[in-house]
Structure 1
Amino acid sequence: MLVELVGQSGRDLDNVSANPARLVNVYAERTTEGERVLKSVLGMDRHTQLDGVFVRAMGRVDGVTYAVCGGHLWRINLHGSANDLGAVDTGRATLCGNNGYVCVQAGTRYFVYDPDADTITEPAAGAFSDIGSVEFFGNYTVITEAGGRRFQWSALADPTDLPGLNFSTADGKDDNLLRGLAMDGRLYLFKQESTELWYNTGEAGADAMARVAGGVWDIGLLSRDMLCQFEGGAFIVGSDNRAHLVSSGGFQPVSIPPVETAIKIDRPQACLTYSDEGHTFCAIIFKDSPAWVYDLSMNEWHERAEGVNLGPWNVAASCKIGKEWAVGRNNGEISILRRTNADGSTPLVREITSRTLRMDGQRTILREFEVFPRQGFSAGTMNLHISRDGGSTWTPPKPKPIGGQGEYGRRVLWRNLGQARAINAKLRWTEPRDICLSTQARIVT
């Protein structure tokens, strides 16, 4: 009989045996007939190496990609080189454009890069000098206060000028600002425990910004880097320890219990986004475990890991370089996301773990187990592991070749797998081959 092996990743570290199902470095999509198939995530292809470590921010201004790394601002070129544009500051950073200028918050300082003059300046302080973030909104550079509730804005179309009276206070709730984000023609001010919605009044100077009536929500950001923006909305990890989509002035929770457990115990670091073939992905990056990735097109979660032991995905920011998505890594490397089925010289290990297949409480012999990968295009080997205790322990790998080029009809079939009352199957493959796989398997008992 045919069984559906796995839906989305659902392994909760609080209770692994309840549902050991995982999709690691693979994600699901539907065919035109409605069948679910699994595809490899995009691999990382090294583009350039920046001096220093920790890519703190990435962004595009007038089609050019910039990054903050090692206390410097860098221009990332299409052909794989990078130019050091000058020193900024160390620490967390944000980046935006304003009429050709590149505006950078680094540490608690504010810098402006002028591409025409090829100079970086640090404008004189306006309403305050401890800078928390920068964002472009309505021809202004909006700057939030680090450790405070105030935000200020530059002169119109001139980010080098910070008039002292161009500020207001996000005082809908008594908590501090973390980040500003322009979206839907409005300004979202994310705070520690709340979010406020502001708009551009069209007036000049100190009267340019006003809060939308009723525009205060009791959800803030978990931390200032737990936000990313995609076309049509934003993705955040909120102060309530849940993942949300934000659009049209509303918050839609999308996290599932395993994600919320990871947010609680695995030290989330940042959120980032990228897309591929009609899928928009929003990732929560963790210090201690693989990233959890939400697929907007499927409304499902999978995991993104790195290395043969499926460790954390060591990335911190994302942005397009030309027409391709790139990520900034914790070692200062900028990598392009491509269907290479490898992370540079490191294998991209793909692993799926099935939900628990229960045999009506009876000890049942699993005589055959067959899966249906794409065949005939490249050689590869799949390893099968079996668990009879809810995913706590696994058998040694049982390798099975899927067939080489031209072998379209070869069966990927294991026989005589023992008996149990409940069974989980784990499939794992590492070759740099584009191997797709049906989410269904055939079993014979």
Structure 2
Amino acid sequence: MDDQDAVVCYGCVGDEYLKALIKNEGASAKCFYCKKKRKAITIELLSDWVADAMWSFFENTSVWERGDELNFHVAEMLGCDDTDDALVGDVCGELVTCSHWDIRQGGEARFEEFGLYMPRQLRPIEAERKWQDFRTGIMHKSRFFNQSGKQFLEWLFGSIDSFRNLRTSDLNEDAVVRTLKASDCRELFRARECKSLDDARVIAINPAEKLAAPPKEKARAGRMNPEGVPVFYGAFDRKTCVAELRPAIGGSVISGQFRLTRDLRVLDFQRLEDAYEHAPLSLFDPECRLKMERRRFLRTFHQKIKSPVLPNQEHEYLTTQVIAEYLSTQHTPRFDGVIFSSAQNSGGLNIVLFAHVISMESAGEVLRPPHDPNKPTRGIEYVPETLVRHKIKEVDYKFDDEGHTGNDVDPFGQYPDHDDDWDW
């Protein structure tokens, strides 16, 4: 290839960020590959950019199952469909070539021609730091009017609508942000502990009111609400609903079924564990590392949300309370509720519906047919004759045994040694 022709235009690469970079940094010239005259850069400069990205995000490996050859990664990086593409070959040639002058000076090629490369282990250090700053800020500095806290949540949930479990086109089937349709009649359950027969009789007389979310005057602080803000805590099955109350052996619990009266928009934290953001990442983007960390951090967020809080440690709820308040009042469009796994019943799912869904005051704003928009109604209602009384006979404890040395646990121990699921 003639050096004076060794230029590539923005049209010959598929990575959108790289296209914009070439347009901004390049000069008008005839492209060596497509022969069109438009903004272009030298192969040497492009190779330098690729080398920087390779050093930042990849490492050598001798394990075939984990690594791929250089041309595979370069093709992916440039957005080329074929590893045999001429541009890919020329860039790889620059990366593995070392001039005679460099060799005499003790230099060597930047990469091995037949080497194998794999993604580096990336732990979301900066994302975790942001999370810890957020928790410290709202717990020990300022919860109300906490601008930095709001900025963190905007950064964290900014593109949450694009996260899905699988790479499909069915947005609701695999989406993290789901629409629960009233027409599907999904069963929801809510329970209350009964300390006496009188408690059970009171609930049985008016279950629609007594099993529903408490009025604001009686709403106690919980995982997703501060004191005085009522929300609906429920589950998708009775066993989970009962387990979440942590009733004592010999006690009684009454549960009832509820149904939605309108479609609701909810954030499913369980799906978030295995979700991918479909917006592609560019390794040429200076913010790429932080964006990768954010994606990885979000996939661990479910564990932070569902973790049980021990008695007398209820102040730990402050973090999730602020998150719920942000999702229900500040995020656009706002959420009607959240779904997360039960910490008390393995495999069970909890659902929390926010205040504006269960309130008569705001119901008219978000009604869906067939309800009369002039007639206020809540977003959820009790299903008559569905009461069940549960007598608690035993409690099953499950635990993991691990040796204890007194040393602090690695705060990043939850992350695997290597990333094999990057979603570029």
TM-score (ref. length: structure 1): 0.19
Larger Rg: 2
TM-score (ref. length: structure 2): 0.20
Higher helix share: 2
